[in-house]
Structure 1
Amino acid sequence: GEHPPFDRVDVVQPALFAMGVALSALWRSLGVVPGAVVGHSQGEVVAAVVSGALTLEQGAQIVAQRSKAVLACAGLGGMALIERPVALVEEFLAPYGDALSVAAVNTAGSTVISGRAEAVERIVAELQARDVYARKINVDYASHNAQMDPLLPELASGFEGLVPRRAGIPFYSTVTGEVSDGTGLDGAYWCRNL
């Protein structure tokens, strides 16, 4: 039969999820046990499974349903990495209005943006011309952006049966910026994460 392309979002994200969970299990088998966990976006789903807040099945469900939903937005958006602090990046974005927004703050000096594909192309070229390190991320959708909003109602209903447990390891949330005991990592949380 036909196999989907390996670089399609609904193939890549479940594969990365499986790799993250497997690596964690390998490290544990070698005696490396985490004192706390943190992850960004789909990596946060791995962290939730590793913490014990979600079962492996629950984590796989979230990743599979989210990546399948995101596939519907393929071709509409893009993302880029800009090696500058978020406050400065927000100034760069101001002229673009609703076309672009901050998607993630990686570090004090590294920010990810997302939005309309043509706006991402334009800002990357503009910043590169000004010797600001900026590069497009190899995706054709705008994660962590208002473009995801239409997907949320259907995802929320698909996540209704999700009942997280108390985490056995402290879970640092990149959504709230706080340590979570795991019990709040329900369907609404994963919609907010997206």
Structure 2
Amino acid sequence: FAARIGECAKALEPFTDWSLVDVLRAADGAPSLDRVDVVQPALFAVMVSLAEVWGAAGVRPGAVIGHSQGEIAAACVAGILSLEDAARVVALRSQAIGRVLAGLGGMVSVPLAAAEVRERIAPWGEERISVAAVNGPS
């Protein structure tokens, strides 16, 4: 696991101004996982590294799937993207998301059916608040 995290850190380094190892160790001065441009690459690195651990234990998936940055990790684990290309995609994507969202609002996961959420937020109008994605029945 540690070796793969090190490889991920090296692959992310050209695209970030922070150290993955420092973030994962919560080192003094490391940026917070509250930042989208930090948490998404960090999660990606953990996913890719865990896949390496499972592989070392003999677990070989017949297929992989992911959501959000998990799609990038899945493509890397499947060999569709090299680690370097996947690191570039996840780092630059997370930075773009951070720029788009910075100061303009936020996102929340709501464990309710989409129809119920739409009903509850209707008083604010769709231009102020809306359902961005439905990831499951609730």
Do they superpose with TM above 0.5? yes
Q: 1:133-170 CA deviation, whole Å, 9 max, x = no partner?
A: xxxxxxxxxxxxxxxxxxxxxxxxxxxxxxxxxxxxxx
Report the counterpart of residue 6 of structure 1 in structure 2: 32
> Do structure 1's residue 99 and structure 2's residue 121 form an aligned pair?
no
TM-score of the pair, normalised by structure 2: 0.67
Q: 1:87 aligns with which of 115, 119, 122?
A: 115
Q: 1:20 aligns with which of 34, 47, 71?
A: 47
> Do structure 1's residue 32 and structure 2's residue 59 form an aligned pair?
yes
Distance across 2 between alignment mates of 1:71 and 1:4: 18
**Aligned residues of 1:93 and 1:100 also touching (Cα < 8 A):** yes
Distance across 1 between alignment mates of 2:108 and 2:60: 33
Instruction: Give the number of equivalent residue pairs.
Output: 108
Deviation at 1:74, TM superposition (A): 2.2
TM-score of the pair, normalised by structure 1: 0.49
Q: 1:47-99 CA deviation, whole Å, 9 max, x = no partner?
A: 11122221111110011111222232323211112222223323334332122
Gaps of 5+ in 1: 110-194
Query: Which secondary structure state, in structure 2, belongs to the residue aligned with residue 61 of structure 1?
Result: helix
Are residues 27 and 68 of structure 1, via their aligned partners in 2, closer, same or farther at CA, if it must alter by over 3 Å? Answer: same
**Aligned residues of 1:4 and 1:11 also touching (Cα < 8 A):** no
Give me the CA root mean square deviation: 2.0
Are residues 35 and 101 of structure 1, via their aligned partners in 2, closer, same or farther at CA, if it must alter by over 3 Å? Answer: farther
Identical aligned residues as a percent = 53
Distance across 2 between alignment mates of 1:36 and 1:88: 34
Distance across 2 between alignment mates of 1:46 and 1:18: 8
Report the counterpart of residue 66 of structure 1 in structure 2: 93
Residue identity matched to 1:32: V
Between structures 1 and 2, the one with greater helix share: 2
Between structures 1 and 2, the one with greater strand share: 1
Distance across 2 between alignment mates of 1:87 and 1:35: 35
Are residues 51 and 90 of structure 1, via their aligned partners in 2, closer, same or farther at CA, if it must alter by over 3 Å? Answer: farther
Distance across 1 between alignment mates of 2:137 and 2:110: 12
